[in-house]
């Protein structure tokens, strides 16, 4: 499993921008939802096309500074909401012509390099990792959860093969001192038997903690479900993923609803069940060599998309059952 890695450059690169614009076709107008506004790359590009409107979401309140600049330029065509994308069905969108919904699940350079967020093992501060609208931090997780729970977080969210021993050593160390970023990195370095000179020893554990603290599994699952509900017929739902766990969830959701029969729970019994999505291509779109050369962090990006075939709002999906074990691990956070 690859973790999102951001290059040491400060220019912002919206990943797979040309390909995404080609798929969602904003030249035909309509309203688009940018579920991960961030630095605003997708929103800015969509708004270049006439007769488009953008509703942008981001849990990170710091994104509002960039959003306010777009509001000044596109006062009647751009709206920003500081909410999690899993909550997008709470927006009043009944009369909106939602033609496309885009998720980019990566972290921005500014987020990774912000010492207050503590997302990176290179950060010297506290173990934070909260992207916004969180209930607990990585510091809470490391210093309060028991050994077995930490082991599961590292194993299932980071694919860390030595998670059992790392968790054991964390519990031993925290009896003596509160663990911060530098202390955690030191524990991981001491624990890991084999050194990987291409990938930092702490990469997988830090990925696992970011996923856990921000509840990225359940956020993605409910984000996909609620995006599907509000999307109009013939609208596009697209997701850019950066590691295999995210991609597995998106792939299953798209594949199951494009191959298996799905019907609204509230439709008449006589209504014939049908597939909800049209999956145009099974393989993901990946960055070109040119884009990877310009923006190395895009190398692990995968873009998958589907087209909604019907205006059903309620539908059946097994996505929660399929990944219930991961949701249950995320729920360890209820103890914090």
Look at residue 6 and tell me whether its pLDDT is greater than 90: no
Tell me the C-alpha distance between 189 and 74, whole Å: 49
Helix or strand or coil: residue 118?
A: coil
Kindly state whether residues 227 and 163 are assigned to the same domain: no
Residue 136 included in any domain = yes
Q: Which span out of 3-7, 85-89, 93-97 was modeled with the highest average pLDDT?
A: 85-89
Residue 267 included in any domain = yes
Look at residue 264 and tell me whether its pLDDT is greater than 70: no
Residue 277, Cβ density class (10 Å: 0-12 exposed, 13-18 middle, ≥19 buried): buried
Residue 287 included in any domain = yes
Kindly state whether residues 223 and 296 are assigned to the same domain: yes
Residue range(s) defining the domain that contains residue 26: 17-109+216-314
Residue 9 included in any domain = no
Kindly state whether residues 148 and 204 are assigned to the same domain: yes
Return all residues near 225 (Cβ < 8 A) that are at least 6 apart.
317, 319
Kindly state whether residues 96 and 229 are assigned to the same domain: yes
Kindly state whether residues 97 and 118 are assigned to the same domain: no
pLDDT at 94: 79
Residue 261 included in any domain = yes
Look at residue 1 and tell me whether its pLDDT is greater than 90: no
What percent of the chain shows pLDDT beyond 70? 92
Tell me the C-alpha distance between 136 and 118, whole Å: 13
Tell me the C-alpha distance between 327 and 221, whole Å: 9
Residues facing residue 34 across a β-bridge:
56, 102
Residue 138 included in any domain = yes
Q: How far is CA 271 from its chain centroid?
A: 35
What is the mean predicted confidence (pLDDT) over 254-274? 67
Q: Which residue has the higher pLDDT, 190 or 265?
A: 190
What is the mean predicted confidence (pLDDT) over 323-332? 98
Return all residues near 272 (Cβ < 8 A) that are at least 6 apart.
none
pLDDT at 4: 43
For residue 97, the domain's CATH number is: 3.40.50.150
Helix or strand or coil: residue 21?
A: helix
Residue 79 included in any domain = yes
For residue 169, the domain's CATH number is: 1.10.150.170
> Tokens in use for 247?
């991609």
Specify the range with the lowest mean pLDDT, choosing from 158-172, 202-216, 218-232, 257-271: 257-271
pLDDT digit string (tens) for 70-83? 999 998 999 999 99
pLDDT at 262: 63
Kindly state whether residues 227 and 310 are assigned to the same domain: yes
Return all residues near 293 (Cβ < 8 A) that are at least 6 apart.
none
> Tokens in use for 230?
């509000």
Average pLDDT, the chain: 90
Are residues 122 and 114 in contact, defined by beta-carbon separation less than 8 angstroms?
A: no
DSSP 8-state class, residue 22: H
Kindly state whether residues 223 and 102 are assigned to the same domain: yes
Tell me the C-alpha distance between 245 and 75, whole Å: 38
pLDDT at 312: 80
pLDDT digit string (tens) for 102-116? 999 998 777 777 777
Kindly state whether residues 81 and 229 are assigned to the same domain: yes
Tell me the C-alpha distance between 126 and 185, whole Å: 12
Kindly state whether residues 130 and 95 are assigned to the same domain: no
Task: Indicate the number of domains in the chain.
Answer: 2
Kindly state whether residues 181 and 98 are assigned to the same domain: no
Residue 324 included in any domain = no
Look at residue 159 and tell me whether its pLDDT is greater than 70: yes
Tell me the C-alpha distance between 126 and 105, whole Å: 24
Kindly state whether residues 29 and 88 are assigned to the same domain: yes
Are residues 306 and 254 in contact, defined by beta-carbon separation less than 8 angstroms?
A: yes
Residue of 175, 183, 305, 293 whose CA lies nearest to 253? 305
Q: Which residue has the higher pLDDT, 310 or 16?
A: 16
Look at residue 271 and tell me whether its pLDDT is greater than 70: no
Kindly state whether residues 155 and 39 are assigned to the same domain: no
């Amino acid at each position: 499993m690859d973790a999102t890695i951001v290059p040491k450059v400060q220019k912002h690169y919206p990943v797979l921008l040309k390909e995404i614009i080609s798929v969602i076709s904003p030249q035909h107008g309509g309203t688009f939802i940018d579920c991960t506004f961030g630095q605003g790359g997708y929103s800015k590009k969509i708004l270049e096309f006439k007769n488009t409107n953008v509703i942008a979401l981001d849990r990170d309140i710091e994104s509002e500074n960039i959003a306010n600049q777009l509001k000044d330029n596109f006062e009647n065509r751009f709206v920003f909401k500081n909410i999690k994308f899993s909550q997008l069905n709470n927006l009043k969108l009944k009369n909106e012509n939602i033609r496309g919904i885009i998720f980019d699940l990566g972290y921005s350079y500014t987020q990774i390099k912000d010492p207050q967020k503590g997302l990176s093992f290179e950060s010297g501060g506290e173990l934070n990792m909260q992207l916004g609208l969180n209930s607990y931090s990585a510091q809470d997780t490391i210093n309060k959860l028991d050994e077995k729970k930490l082991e599961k977080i590292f194993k299932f969210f980071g694919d860390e093969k030595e998670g059992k021993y790392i968790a054991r050593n964390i519990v031993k160390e925290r009896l003596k001192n509160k663990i911060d970023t530098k202390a955690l990195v030191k524990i991981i370095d001491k624990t890991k038997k084999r050194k990987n000179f291409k990938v930092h020893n702490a990469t997988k554990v830090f990925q696992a903690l970011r996923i856990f603290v921000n509840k990225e599994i359940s956020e993605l699952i409910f984000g996909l479900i609620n995006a599907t509900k509000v999307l109009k017929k013939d609208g596009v739902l697209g997701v850019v993923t950066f590691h295999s766990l995210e991609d597995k969830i998106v792939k299953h959701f798209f594949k199951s609803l494009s191959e298996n029969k799905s019907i609204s729970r509230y439709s008449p019994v006589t209504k014939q069940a049908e597939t909800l999505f049209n999956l145009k291509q099974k393989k993901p779109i990946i960055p070109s060599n040119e884009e990877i050369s310009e923006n190395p962090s895009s190398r692990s990006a995968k873009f998958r998309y589907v087209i909604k075939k019907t205006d059903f709002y309620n539908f059946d999906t097994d996505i929660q059952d399929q990944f219930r074990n991961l949701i249950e691990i995320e729920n360890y956070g209820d103890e914090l």
